[in-house]
Amino acid sequence: MSEPPSPLVTVLIATFNKRNALEHAIDSVLAQSFRDFELWVIGDGCTDDTAALMASYADPRVHWYNLPANSGYQSAPHNEGLRRARGRYIAYLNHDDLWLSHHLESLVGALERSGADVAYSILEWVLSWRENYAEIPVYPNAPLPPEASATMHRRAMVDEIGGWKAPDQVYSGPRAEFFRRAQFAGKRFVLVPRLTVLKFGTESSEYAAAGRQAEYLARTRAEPEFVQVELAALLVRTQHELERLPSLRRLRAQLANAVRRWLVARRIDPARLVMWRARGRHIRAWRRAHGLAAAAPDDRSTGEPC
């Protein structure tokens, strides 16, 4: 029996015990206008009913694999997905985020037109503790790389620069380190100036648990002008922010970002200059801030949701 033809895109979702949010993320992938993809959902040692959810999908493009033990971060599931990927392009989606239906079409088009190695789009943060805001990091000298859910890169790039590193191997987050490594290797990034991603961050986990992903997914299907409405609201909020007197917090952030841009332009990773930050400290601080148990490098069985 002959092998089926390779898809153009491999979509990777790393997940850990977040079945309800994962279902909406998968639905947003299956609703894409671009259809030539395979989806690999990689469990980071899931112990809930995620396997039962995955068994309910009859779509032959949907695949599931659960790692034998929890690693504590997205790196191990992503690397497993990269080993299994057959697509020319790799797209990531966090298990509690959503794609708008034109996401894959927009990023594939950008990579094929430009010849770039990485494409990324505009992402909207959906938060409960403050007003939503847009994230548009402008490469190559942005202080921080784009969110994984908003990026797509060529599969061949991994063969050149390697995969995702474990948290205890890097000074910053593994996502930031992966895309910064690609930049320093001379890979070209291209911005897709379209809103294509809705991000439900861990800061809004209680709000998200109340069904915000389901609500927003329903809105994207029912409101023909959803994107225009969201972008208009984001523009109004941005204008209000610009009209406010600058706070000390904002000034400090602007100064820090200016320093980061200066360093990155000289191919110096800002994270490496924080001398008191040991490898993995960034992730450990993140876990403490979100009430998650510490994960030792050799035993991460209490790892955070990916």
**pLDDT for the residue 141:** 72
Contact status, residue 32 vs residue 99, Cβ threshold 8 Å:
yes
As a whole number, mean pLDDT of residues 204-229 equals: 81
Per-residue pLDDT tens for 25-70? Answer: 999 999 999 999 999 999 999 999 999 999 999 999 999 999 999 9
Of 283, 259, 286, the closest CA to residue 273 belongs to 259
* Residues spanned by the domain of 86: 9-289
- CA distance linking residue 254 with residue 88, whole number of Å: 38
Contact status, residue 14 vs residue 84, Cβ threshold 8 Å:
no
- CA distance linking residue 73 with residue 288, whole number of Å: 14
- Within-domain flag for 24: yes
- Band of pLDDT at residue 128, cut at 50, 70 and 90: confident
Residue 300 has pLDDT above 50, yes or no: no
**pLDDT for the residue 51:** 97
CATH of residue 109's domain is 3.90.550.10
- Within-domain flag for 303: no
- Amino acid found at 211: G
Share the mean pLDDT of the chain.
Answer: 86
- Within-domain flag for 190: yes
Of 33, 1, 265, the closest CA to residue 142 belongs to 265
CA 109 to chain CA centroid, Å, is 19
As a whole number, mean pLDDT of residues 68-76 equals: 92
- Within-domain flag for 130: yes
- Band of pLDDT at residue 287, cut at 50, 70 and 90: low
Q: Which residues contact 29 (CB under 8 A, 6 or more apart)?
A: 11, 13, 37, 39, 93, 99
Beta strands in 4-115 (DSSP E): 9-15, 37-43, 62-66, 89-92, 98-99
Q: How many CB atoms lie within 10 A of CB 254?
A: 12
- CA distance linking residue 66 with residue 164, whole number of Å: 18
104 to 14, 141, 146, 305: CA distances (angstroms): 18, 25, 16, 25
- Count Cβ neighbours within 10 Å for each residue of 284-302 and write b for 16 or more, e otherwise: beebeeeebeebeeeebee
CA 16 to chain CA centroid, Å, is 15
41 to 14, 74, 289: CA distances (angstroms): 6, 12, 27
- CA distance linking residue 65 with residue 196, whole number of Å: 27
- Band of pLDDT at residue 208, cut at 50, 70 and 90: very low
Residue 160 has pLDDT above 50, yes or no: yes
Residue 173 has pLDDT above 80, yes or no: yes
**pLDDT for the residue 144:** 76
- CA distance linking residue 82 with residue 65, whole number of Å: 12
- Within-domain flag for 3: no
Higher-confidence position of 294 and 32: 32
- Within-domain flag for 178: yes
Q: How many CB atoms lie within 10 A of CB 75?
A: 25
**pLDDT for the residue 303:** 34
Higher-confidence position of 132 and 104: 104
Contact status, residue 41 vs residue 306, Cβ threshold 8 Å:
no
- Within-domain flag for 230: yes
Structurally, how many domains does the chain consist of? 1
The DSSP call for residue 169 is G
As a whole number, mean pLDDT of residues 274-295 equals: 54
- Within-domain flag for 59: yes
